[in-house]
């Protein structure tokens, strides 16, 4: 896994739920068939109502129409990110769309676990309300080794909570790959 992630920010509000991350009508695609799996990326964050979620000003889409990947690699949310149902499709959809890191004040427990267990995205937490300090389109640099976020657009630096035991699991590609790699299972 890279120690530095650089990418554009996509900023959301509080209480982004799994139905907003990947709407239920798009759960019909196979996650094992690459042609179908890319549809999860296409529809990631496709039905987040602006008035409910705090979508970026101007109602900017996460994934442009007729594309399968987003130009935004880093999602910055508020509190309770990933609330709602327990579907693992939500962090998977964000990964398929090209997201590498999510930074939020807090996560719904099951979304956080699904992100880590599947090795889909790095779920950073922060004590600061970064979704009020970062704007959609800002270029961010995340130093994973030092748990720092640098906003290359504004020059500001922010501390992120250490990932602890989560990082080796995500780096390995998920819980089962980590367990195999570390000799816990065959």
Higher pLDDT, 86 or 164: 164
Q: How far apart are the first and last CA of the chain?
A: 23
101 neighbors 5 (Cβ within 8 angstroms): yes
113 neighbors 127 (Cβ within 8 angstroms): no
> 66: left (phi > 0), else alpha (psi -120 to 50), else beta?
left
pLDDT of residue 181: 86
Q: Picking from 39-53, 74-88, 139-153, which range would have the lowest pLDDT averaged per residue?
A: 39-53
**Domain boundaries, given as residue ranges, for the chain:** 4-181
pLDDT of residue 1: 65
Tokens encoding 109? 């427990």
Per-residue pLDDT reduced to its tens digit, 19-41: 889 988 999 999 999 999 999 99
pLDDT of residue 113: 95
Phi, psi of 165 (to 5 degrees): -70, -10
Phi, psi of 155 (to 5 degrees): 85, 0
- Judged on CB neighbours under 10 Å (0-12, 13-18, 19+), 115 is buried
pLDDT of residue 142: 98
Confidence band for 51, pLDDT divided at 50, 70 and 90: low
- Global pTM reads 0.92
Whether residue 5 has pLDDT greater than 70: yes
Q: Determine what percent of the chain is predicted with pLDDT higher than 70.
A: 93
Higher pLDDT, 168 or 56: 168
Beta 139-143 vs 4-11: how paired, if at all? antiparallel
Q: Picking from 9-18, 46-55, 69-78, which range would have the lowest pLDDT averaged per residue?
A: 46-55
Residue 10: partners with Cβ closer than 8 Å, 6 or more residues away: 45, 56, 60, 62, 70, 72, 74, 75, 76, 99, 136
pLDDT of residue 50: 55
pLDDT of residue 185: 84
Higher pLDDT, 47 or 112: 112
- Judged on CB neighbours under 10 Å (0-12, 13-18, 19+), 16 is buried
Distance CA 76, CA 113 (A): 18
Higher pLDDT, 57 or 17: 17
Query: Between 89-96 and 34-42, two packed helices, what is the crossing angle to 10 degrees?
Result: 90
Q: How would CATH label the architecture of 4-181?
A: Alpha-Beta Barrel (3.20)
Question: CB 141: neighbour CB atoms within 10 A?
Answer: 15
Whether residue 106 has pLDDT greater than 90: yes
């Amino acid at each position: 896994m890279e120690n530095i992630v650089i990418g554009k920010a996509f900023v959301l509000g509080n209480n982004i739920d799994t139905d907003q991350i990947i709407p239920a009508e798009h759960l019909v695609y196979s996650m094992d068939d690459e042609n179908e799996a890319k549809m999860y990326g296409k529809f990631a964050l496709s039905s987040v109502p602006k008035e409910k979620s705090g979508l970026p000003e101007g109602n900017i889409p996460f994934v442009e129409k007729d594309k399968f990947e987003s130009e935004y690699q880093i999602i910055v949310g508020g509190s309770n990110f990933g609330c709602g149902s327990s579907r693992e499709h939500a962090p998977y959809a964000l990964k398929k769309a090209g997201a590498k890191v999510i930074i939020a004040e807090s996560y719904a427990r099951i979304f956080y676990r699904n992100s880590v267990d599947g090795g889909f995205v790095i779920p950073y937490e922060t004590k600061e309300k970064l979704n009020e300090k970062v704007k959609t389109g800002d270029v961010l640099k995340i130093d994973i080794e030092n748990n720092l976020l640098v906003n290359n657009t504004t020059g500001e630096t922010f501390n992120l909570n250490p990932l602890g035991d989560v990082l080796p699991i995500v780096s390995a590609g998920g819980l089962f790959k980590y367990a195999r790699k570390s000799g816990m299972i065959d």
